[in-house]
Structure 1
Amino acid sequence: MSQPTDESRVLVIYTGGTIGMLIGNRGYVPEPFFLTETLKSQTRFHDPLQDSLFSNSGSVQGFRQFLSQSGRSSPSGPSPTTAEFKPPTLLVRSSRPIGNFATRGLGGLNQLDAPAPPTCVKLAENLYEAHLPSLITPRSSVSGGGGSKSIRYAILEWNPLLDSSNIETEDWIRLASEIELNYSFDAFVILHGTDTMSYTSSALSFLLEDLGKTVILTGAQIPLSQLRNDAVDNLMGALSIAGNYIIPECCLYFNHTLFRGNRVSKISSYDLGAFQSPNFPPLVNVGIDIIVNWNDVIRQTSLRRFRAHKVMSPHVATLRLFPGIATATIRAFLSPPIRGVVLESFGSGNAPQRPDLILAFKEACDRGVVIVAISQCMKGSVSDAYEAGRELAAVGVVAGSDMTPECALTKLSYLLSKPELHVEDVRKLVSTPLRGELTRQSATTLSQTTINQNIENIQGLLSEFVRLSGRPETPQITISLPTEATQDAAASWTSTAAEAASTEAALLPFLIHAAAARNDAEAVKFCLEAEATTDSIASPGPSNVASGLANTLDAASGGSPLHAAALNGSTECVDILLSRGALVHLRDTLGHTALYYAARRGHERIVNVLVQAGASLSGLDGGFAAWAVKTAIQNADHVSRDIWLKAGVHTEDF
């Protein structure tokens, strides 16, 4: 089934947690079916006919029309009710059986009362698939989004549901595997208990290598079963962001805030604001408007396809220092099979300077144990400002900068699981930002741009703009500052850095689209280099894509510069844009990706490059692609057939 352009598809993986619990004899317990059945009954989460109040209150006229038609039948007969309407199913894969309700502990629930399980097919060892019934939200628009959109989602419910205190390393790997198996979805929301959510979000940020889509973990402090709860806001907020914005990171959403997943810690067991990111600002703030801090969103510059890493080293642990800690305790703690230790040190990375204690750390480091020092303080970073901290570094302890304990532990486990990495490689990488998990210390500061430099930049920008307009003779553009004699006259150009930056931000998006379409690689480079001097680039179209000029959208087509380059066969421009963070999963207003346009125009090398970078056909691409392959086979057009097959068309599609 083709995907409508005004609809995004999100896979919700429900692991358990407070959000779907009910009160049992011994407190809150997870209950199968409850979450899905509750969401089905609430029109804000499920409006299959798009006939709810939420879908018809976008305007006064729409609301009045909704009231006038309520309870009436159409001329052709009664319209179907929500109960009679069967929404389309979505194909979901898992490493475990899907919907195997017979093995659930249902207690007093009669099996006949339970929802009919989907038909689960075993494809291979540890690979199952089923068509799960989908839910769909009412049409709505978000800040910066292009028109109204519905979010269609399926819920993959784990069996059994887990309290987050029971989450193990194998469950992190299972989550990563399920995202990999279902990577055709536009985005992913993981429902999880709050106690260990920050561990899971940190672990997934490393396990999901070269991630190009949005992954959001969320949950609740008060379950959905209670009248007053935070579950509705958290789930709807996570769905709205996942369905409308491409933020290619593993994130955590809670209490109207989206955090980078490896930057958070749980700081309260009773506040609704249960999480904080002490050393990094939120990626999204949700208030009256949804404000995305695009400059802080990671730009994907890797040309590798997404993959899930499926191993974590179990031989890691966290050691918290305290005054008077015995050396014997530390020696025992650092003994085999321990391979990595997160050392929670005092202040900015200090430890007791007792010779026997320092010797214990040195012996462990010499033996190959990787010790990473982080601070016990919520805010701040490990540094070498004090002699006590320098002694740790001298014996081989690595500074963990401002990583959270959860992040440092999971990162160490991830790195130590890679057999190709030697101990020195791990020590180097653990203090290097891989997923934005730590702040890189910079020894240089940017100098303020001078007035003359501002004028020179704008002058070059305008000249490039005129050159790309296609005129046979390019005029020389010169901008001059007012002289003393004309100071009182209205200057044609002002000279502040802010005004220069705003001028560049207004012109660069148009310029890079023109350059990509004309295969002008030098002009594309010029734009991207000019971007470095501009605080932010404002897209003239919908602003629901990642930061950076490489992803700015054309107001008319909704396409990115990568769309233009792929359509026109600009191979060099495609390479440059991908290296600067262009997103391969973006779809234009017609629902097509850059890969679709490259394949349709027969640009084989661009198809190969995009596929290598993780691109896949999605949205409305599939229907035409299957037809194109079938037609190519009938016409014996082997070139076109091979290009579409390389783009990812499967023979079973036709």
Structure 2
Amino acid sequence: MVPDLNVDNEAWILVLYTGGTIGMKSNKGIYCPEQHYLPRAIRELPPLNDEKYIEKNYNYSSLKPFCLPPVRNTLKRIVYWVVEYEPLLDSSDMTFDDWIRIGVDIQKAYKSYDGFVVLHGTDTLAYTASALSFMLENLTKPVILTGSQIPVCEVRSDGRENLIGALIMAANYDIPEVTIFFNNKLYRGNRSVKLDNSGLEAFDSPNMLPIAHMEINIKVNYESIFRSQSSQPFSVCTTLCRNVGLLRIFPSISIELVKTFLQPPMEGVILQTYGAGNMPSRRTDIIEIIKEAHERGCIIVNCSQCLRGRVDVHYVTGKILYDVGVISGSDMTVESAITKLSYVLAKDEWDLQTKRKMMQRNIRGELTITNYDTLQDLEIIPQLAKFLHIHSTEEVQLLRNALFPPLLCYAAQNNDLDLLDNLRQSGAQFSQPDYNGRTALHIAAGAGRTQTVRYLLDHAANVNFKDQWGENALMHAVRSRNTECIQVLRDAGAVFGCDPIDIGWTKIRNKKKFAMTIPAQLGNLIQLNRLVQFFCFEHLVSCP
């Protein structure tokens, strides 16, 4: 699955093809899955593969990738490999084990690619996206799920556009989330639902605007991106609790049904109630059964049957559930709530009280915390906007985007943690790049500001974000010969992407350049110090 060293100015994407309509073949008017058909078809489709580029640059490779034709307004060529699952799965057959398999495959290839695309059937795509959003811990790279209503190889195909769009977003945008790309929109995975089984706009995010729109120009709402707040390296949770279920309330629901449903071994239940989380207040028999289940240790989460809106305990019919220990699911989708519950219950290191708290906490951007208070504007921003006669929200946002990156870099260079903290509370994103594509983490690592590096990593700075020269913060730390910064970045998951070997130099195939392999990737700081002493970095070639 891990390819050879790549050439310069490329973004590498791994595509996991699990099945679904997107890769099906028409057989007498009936769409059917066929093993190995999709990769062959993509190879022959010019919009999806620049064969001349592949022959020129990857003629030596035993596993030839695919490459999109040049994309307007992007700096790198998008090269991608397709790994096909066997057997191909209809999404209706997806299980917890399949989610774990996808997560493990991403983990195995995580250091070698810039992003990941998962091709999936649409019926349970929102469930898989929600599950992966929780399972993929400390994510720093984009993972995008997509599918289609019409196969890629049809003349009229949304699959072709969805695949191209997903590849472009995964290769070019710093959106370290599990998302869904469909019909020119990028949605947060755990906020999405399938709304339509026959229209091309099959998915929506009822309680959150899309993260990005792909129009003539691609518009990204960077402020809505949810970034990991941990400096720990990427990992995958491969354990999920199976004893969870959905119980939908309906008029005259029988007490026997509720009682049977809540019996052991049930450990967690998503209770789908009316409107804003309302329960029939006269059904004291059901309330008593729910109370008993709560006292037994079963975690019960209240979610609305409505797609839009959130659970509100201010109604009497909603407060009665709150009073017996039922947790508010806020505005979580059912898909998100059930997969989060399965993830949380599987955490053996958490006690029951912690698990209940985690179900109420926003851990992956899956719900809205109503009492969450954050300052969105630095005082200087509205003052400057007023002085410059800027009034629209878009113009103010452009001003913020122009000012924050140099201020962040200035603070990082000067080890000014107070300024960094003020900027963060004012809405600045630590992965916002300056005109050179460098972030505050690049500057801090290059200047040897270890304290600042730790602070930035603790507050969701992307450890593997690359500047316009394809270098991440680890490369800057190596150039500055700061072994402490190198160790901190390595501990946070920083990688070079090329495979290190024991000797200091290795020739890149088909290239007349040499790359110094960095012992920092092996954690060998003694060897690194020696190499830094005796080798210059003039011929260094970065590998994504």
Which deviations, in whole Å up to 9, do the C-alpha atoms of 1:486-519 show, x marking residues without a partner?
xxxxx988798989987665444323323433xx
Contact 2:177–2:227 (CA under 8 A) maintained in structure 1: no
Q: Which amino acid aligns with 1:441?
A: T
Whole-angstrom distance in 2 between the partners of 1:597 and 1:178 = 30
Whole-angstrom distance in 1 between the partners of 2:324 and 2:258 = 15
In structure 2, the partner of 1:18 is: 21
Contact 1:5–1:590 (CA under 8 A) maintained in structure 2: no
In structure 2, the partner of 1:568 is: 447
Whole-angstrom distance in 1 between the partners of 2:41 and 2:361 = 44
The correspondence of residues 82-161 of structure 1 with structure 2, limited to 5 A, is 87=59, 89=61, 132-142=63-73, 145=74, 147=75, 149-161=76-88
Q: Which amino acid aligns with 2:316?
A: E
In structure 1, the partner of 2:472 is: 593
The correspondence of residues 183-582 of structure 1 with structure 2, limited to 5 A, is 183-184=110-111, 185-353=113-281, 354-442=283-371, 454=380, 506-517=402-413, 520-522=414-416, 525-530=418-423, 532-533=425-426, 548-555=428-435, 557-582=436-461
> How big is the shift at 1:133?
2.4
Q: Which amino acid aligns with 2:334?
A: P
> How big is the shift at 1:290?
0.7
> How big is the shift at 1:581?
2.5
In structure 1, the partner of 2:497 is: 618
Whole-angstrom distance in 1 between the partners of 2:434 and 2:333 = 39
Which deviations, in whole Å up to 9, do the C-alpha atoms of 1:499-542 show, x marking residues without a partner?
9987665444323323433xx122x53255146446xxxxxxxx
In structure 2, the partner of 1:477 is: none
CA shift in 2, pair 1:189/1:560, >3 Å: same
Contact 2:78–2:171 (CA under 8 A) maintained in structure 1: yes
> How big is the shift at 1:596?
1.6
From 474, 487, 502, give the equivalent of 1:608: 487
Runs of 5+ consecutive residues of structure 2 not aligned to the other structure: 507-514, 534-542
> How big is the shift at 1:348?
0.7
Which deviations, in whole Å up to 9, do the C-alpha atoms of 1:223-256 show, x marking residues without a partner?
1232212111110000111111121000011111
Identical aligned residues as a percent: 38
Whole-angstrom distance in 2 between the partners of 1:492 and 1:320 = 55
CA shift in 2, pair 1:505/1:413, >3 Å: closer
Contact 2:16–2:85 (CA under 8 A) maintained in structure 1: yes
Contact 2:150–2:158 (CA under 8 A) maintained in structure 1: yes
Give the match's secondary structure for 1:225.
coil
CA shift in 2, pair 1:48/1:445, >3 Å: closer
CA shift in 2, pair 1:26/1:324, >3 Å: farther
Is 1:176 the counterpart of 2:103 in the alignment?
Answer: yes
Q: Which amino acid aligns with 1:180?
A: Q
Query: Could you tell me the TM-score, scaled by structure 2's length?
Result: 0.87
> How big is the shift at 1:419?
1.0
Which deviations, in whole Å up to 9, do the C-alpha atoms of 1:619-638 show, x marking residues without a partner?
79999776646999xxx974
> How big is the shift at 1:568?
1.8
Which deviations, in whole Å up to 9, do the C-alpha atoms of 1:6-59 show, x marking residues without a partner?
2100000000000111234794221112111111001221114249xxxxxxxx
CA shift in 2, pair 1:375/1:600, >3 Å: same
Which deviations, in whole Å up to 9, do the C-alpha atoms of 1:127-147 show, x marking residues without a partner?
xxxx632111122234xx4x3
Moved more, 173-182 or 621-630: 621-630
In structure 1, the partner of 2:540 is: none
Contact 2:183–2:200 (CA under 8 A) maintained in structure 1: yes
Q: Which amino acid aligns with 1:436?
A: G
Contact 1:5–1:589 (CA under 8 A) maintained in structure 2: no
CA shift in 2, pair 1:447/1:203, >3 Å: closer
CA shift in 2, pair 1:42/1:503, >3 Å: closer
> How big is the shift at 1:447?
11
RMSD across aligned C-alpha pairs, in angstroms? Answer: 3.2
Give the match's secondary structure for 1:512.
helix
CA shift in 2, pair 1:619/1:151, >3 Å: farther
Whole-angstrom distance in 1 between the partners of 2:46 and 2:440 = 38
> How big is the shift at 1:172?
0.2
> How big is the shift at 1:199?
0.4
CA shift in 2, pair 1:500/1:589, >3 Å: closer
Contact 2:14–2:117 (CA under 8 A) maintained in structure 1: yes
Whole-angstrom distance in 2 between the partners of 1:207 and 1:352 = 35
Whole-angstrom distance in 2 between the partners of 1:593 and 1:441 = 36
In structure 2, the partner of 1:62 is: none
Contact 1:416–1:426 (CA under 8 A) maintained in structure 2: yes
Which deviations, in whole Å up to 9, do the C-alpha atoms of 1:561-606 show, x marking residues without a partner?
2112111211122122223332111112222211122123321111
Contact 1:213–1:248 (CA under 8 A) maintained in structure 2: yes
Give the match's secondary structure for 1:550.
coil
Contact 1:595–1:607 (CA under 8 A) maintained in structure 2: yes
Runs of 5+ consecutive residues of structure 1 not aligned to the other structure: 52-81, 90-130, 459-490, 535-547, 645-652
Give the match's secondary structure for 1:614.
coil
In structure 2, the partner of 1:545 is: none
Contact 2:499–2:517 (CA under 8 A) maintained in structure 1: no
Whole-angstrom distance in 2 between the partners of 1:256 and 1:492 = 37
Contact 1:591–1:620 (CA under 8 A) maintained in structure 2: no
Contact 2:375–2:426 (CA under 8 A) maintained in structure 1: no
